Structure 1
Amino acid sequence: MDPHHSLIALSEAMPKTELHLHIEGTFEPEQMFAIAQRNQVPLQYESMDALKAAYQFTNLQDFLDLYYQGMSVLLHEVDFYDLTMAYLTKVHSENVVHVEIFFDPQAHLSRGVPFDVQIKGIYNALQDAKKKWGMSSKLIMSFLRHLSEDSAFGTLEQATPFLSWIDGVGLDSSELGHPPEKFLRVFEVCKNLGLKVTAHAGEEGPPEYVWQAIEQIGVDRIDHGNRALEDELLIKTLQERQLTLTVCPLSNLKLCVVHDMKDHPITHMLQLGLNATVNSDDPAYFGGYMNDNYASLIRHTGIQKTELQQLAENGINGSWMSKQEKTKHLTALFALFL
């Protein structure tokens, strides 16, 4: 028997939240192929086997090529609905009770897919998951940091009729050379609109980018944040402000942020009193969903039962759920660990 069986079973049973998930990164090859055929969009992969083989990429550029190929088949509201519902169905089966998902409108607007087509498909799937399973959700509109701040402002303008559906804004895409301060003005406007703000920082970018996200943008949490551990004053600031870090273990491994899962810093983050959480990032491409991420940590890092509980607790407390919803899920979590 797997010596880790009992801990893995416990991690699977825990009520979980996912706070760092790109909906475009949940595109499984079978669904990509099916929607491509439905929309008569040619892929550069002539067969399902060839497409599946492409998912075994070994560098960031090959991943991005595949990622944007996948996006190219998303044309209609039903496509965004089907993509989102497939993800929600998957994570519901893994006891994920609440999701906060990113979508990248600029990547679709540049292909001529209107903003309303994208958000209606995603939002309707989130609403159906609430009706079917009681799964709660928040929707985060992410700005692509390799584009200009003017482009972000243009996207925000297109989002204006749908602001009641959008809970927060984020910042993703290639980090190096695109510091958070590049988007200072647009984030200020978003905060004045009552939106939560978060930013990818400290994955491939330096600790300085995490500082900028905290001090200049005034983020509500940090996505990734691994490299914050290089700066003792930054660690202290994260501790004092109780900022949540949305860490993505299998993503870190796949993109060589860490080279071996046994060296992943998440347990060290917990020992430092940081609010680290477990998330899957782009699970179709990076090797697994929530349960896979937990199982990999259990198998390779020596993570303990108390740390599992802490990670799940951090995920609930770090979410943007109401206090009442948090209490409900924390009660269920604590009962499991009695």
Structure 2
Amino acid sequence: MLPRKVSKEFIEGLPKSELHVHLEGTLEPELKLKLAKKNNIDIGQSTIEDVEATYHYTSLASFLAVYYPGMNVLQTESDFYELAMAYLKKAHEQGVVHTEMFFDPQAHIIRGVPLNYVINGFYQACVDARAFGIDAQLIMCFLRDMSARSAMDLLNAAQPYHNKILGICLDSYEHHNPPLKFMQPFSLAVEQGYHITMHADVDQIDSIEHIKQALEIINVERLDHGTNIVENKDLVDWVNQLHLGLTSCPLSNELITDNDLKGDEILDLLDIGVKVSINSDDPAYFGGYIADNYWALASEYKVTPEQIVQLAKNSIETSWISKEQKQLYLEQIDKYVEEYDG
């Protein structure tokens, strides 16, 4: 039965899906140092404390200035496998039964890393994770601060790996890089059978205009972050009518927006029926995995056990899996709640 109040234990055991996590953002300091040594990469840090000292951000741009250089340690197919497997094991420990994970091939290709190393390494981890009960899929991202031509080239290069990629996303620095810049590659991605989503990062310049473009012109199936939508009631109503998911990430919100988890926005959207879910974004950089994000929200706001359960159900309902698979996971949630004794 539902507990009288939310606990970390209840959250961790609750079956859930993670729909917004960047695999490169799960690169923990220990693994970063290990791979740097293995691949003879000088990252300018030699201890975990040195690495952690660089993790201070006041904006999306300042975060990305740390995030992208950290990827230099990823050089071989086994590096990408090890990174993804480390995340999947942590996610499993925090109740994740299904995950759809972002990855950024362009950030590796421009460093001279072959595309097949990236995709095959990540994909093999997805396959092997089935052994401990987690269903994992890949979402390939276009970097929005690169050209639309580059995105198109990536889409073409990824054709041999089509069966290993579930969907296409747009991420990275949003200013001067609106969704419409990428209308052509996204149209082609839809023609090729991919699911599509886009980042609408919190409190960016032209946030509402970019959300409108993503929803009304590109016709995304989910919206990543996206809580600025509360500024426009018409768009909120439209998302609600479409039953379209919003993937919110409280801990990254807090660090990027100067101590605002966006909890009020998340709970307001939840209360009116919007399919908002809780996710970890870049957990190695923002201080917590998915259950930590649920707990941060529950700790700072008056969140009920019923709302926690609904957030988990939203994560299942807005995933890109079959109706039958969704029903099985939703039944797992109901069974967990029914049998919970805490």
Check if 1:184 corresponds to 2:162.
no
Check if 1:141 corresponds to 2:140.
yes
Q: How many angstroms apart in 2 are the aligned matches of 1:112 and 1:274?
A: 42
Q: How many angstroms apart in 1 are the aligned matches of 2:239 and 2:295?
A: 27
Match of 1:107?
A: 107
Q: How many angstroms apart in 2 are the aligned matches of 1:231 and 1:87?
A: 36
* Aligned length in residues: 334
When the two chains are superposed, the root-mean-square deviation of aligned CA atoms in Å is 1.7
Check if 1:299 corresponds to 2:302.
no
- State the secondary structure of the residue aligned to 1:118: helix
Check if 1:212 corresponds to 2:203.
no
Q: How many angstroms apart in 2 are the aligned matches of 1:267 and 1:329?
A: 23
Contact 2:227–2:262 (8 Å) recurs in 1: no
Q: 1:17 to 1:6 in 2, by over 3 A?
A: same
- State the secondary structure of the residue aligned to 1:246: strand
Q: How many angstroms apart in 2 are the aligned matches of 1:210 and 1:322?
A: 27
Deviation readout 1:225-247 (Å, 9 max, x if unpaired): 11110001111101111110011
Match of 1:169?
A: 168
Post-superposition offset of 1:5: 7.3
- State the secondary structure of the residue aligned to 2:170: strand
Residue range with higher mean Cα deviation, 105-114 or 5-14: 5-14
* 1:223 counterpart letter in structure 2: D
Contact 1:146–1:178 (8 Å) recurs in 2: yes
Post-superposition offset of 1:57: 4.1
Deviation readout 1:89-144 (Å, 9 max, x if unpaired): 111111111110010000001101111011010000010001x1131122100000
Match of 2:241?
A: 240
Post-superposition offset of 1:52: 2.1
Higher RCO, 1 vs 2 (CA within 8 Å, ≥6 residues apart):
2
Contact 2:253–2:260 (8 Å) recurs in 1: no
* 2:99 counterpart letter in structure 1: V
Q: How many angstroms apart in 2 are the aligned matches of 1:60 and 1:209?
A: 16
**Unmatched tracts of structure 1, length 5 or more:** none
Q: 1:71 to 1:169 in 2, by over 3 A?
A: same
* 2:247 counterpart letter in structure 1: T
How do 1:44-63 and structure 2 match up within 5 A? 44-63=44-63
Match of 1:121?
A: 121
Q: How many angstroms apart in 2 are the aligned matches of 1:337 and 1:224?
A: 27
Aligned residues with identical type, % of pairs: 42
Match of 1:308?
A: 308
Residue range with higher mean Cα deviation, 76-85 or 57-66: 57-66
Contact 2:6–2:304 (8 Å) recurs in 1: no
Contact 2:179–2:214 (8 Å) recurs in 1: yes
Contact 2:263–2:297 (8 Å) recurs in 1: no
Match of 2:256?
A: 255
Post-superposition offset of 1:321: 1.4
* 1:91 counterpart letter in structure 2: A
Deviation readout 1:149-206 (Å, 9 max, x if unpaired): 1000111111011011111000000112111011111111000001000001252251
Match of 1:33?
A: 33
Post-superposition offset of 1:287: 1.4
* 2:335 counterpart letter in structure 1: A
* 1:158 counterpart letter in structure 2: A
Check if 1:266 corresponds to 2:284.
no
Contact 2:6–2:305 (8 Å) recurs in 1: no
* 2:98 counterpart letter in structure 1: H
- State the secondary structure of the residue aligned to 2:251: helix
- State the secondary structure of the residue aligned to 1:238: helix
Deviation readout 1:64-101 (Å, 9 max, x if unpaired): 23212210011100000000000001111111111100
Check if 1:228 corresponds to 2:229.
yes
Contact 1:223–1:246 (8 Å) recurs in 2: yes
Q: How many angstroms apart in 1 are the aligned matches of 2:96 and 2:254?
A: 22
- State the secondary structure of the residue aligned to 1:98: strand
- State the secondary structure of the residue aligned to 2:90: helix
Q: How many angstroms apart in 1 are the aligned matches of 2:57 and 2:207?
A: 25
Q: 1:37 to 1:93 in 2, by over 3 A?
A: same
* 1:220 counterpart letter in structure 2: E
Q: 1:227 to 1:108 in 2, by over 3 A?
A: same
- State the secondary structure of the residue aligned to 2:19: strand
Q: 1:33 to 1:145 in 2, by over 3 A?
A: same
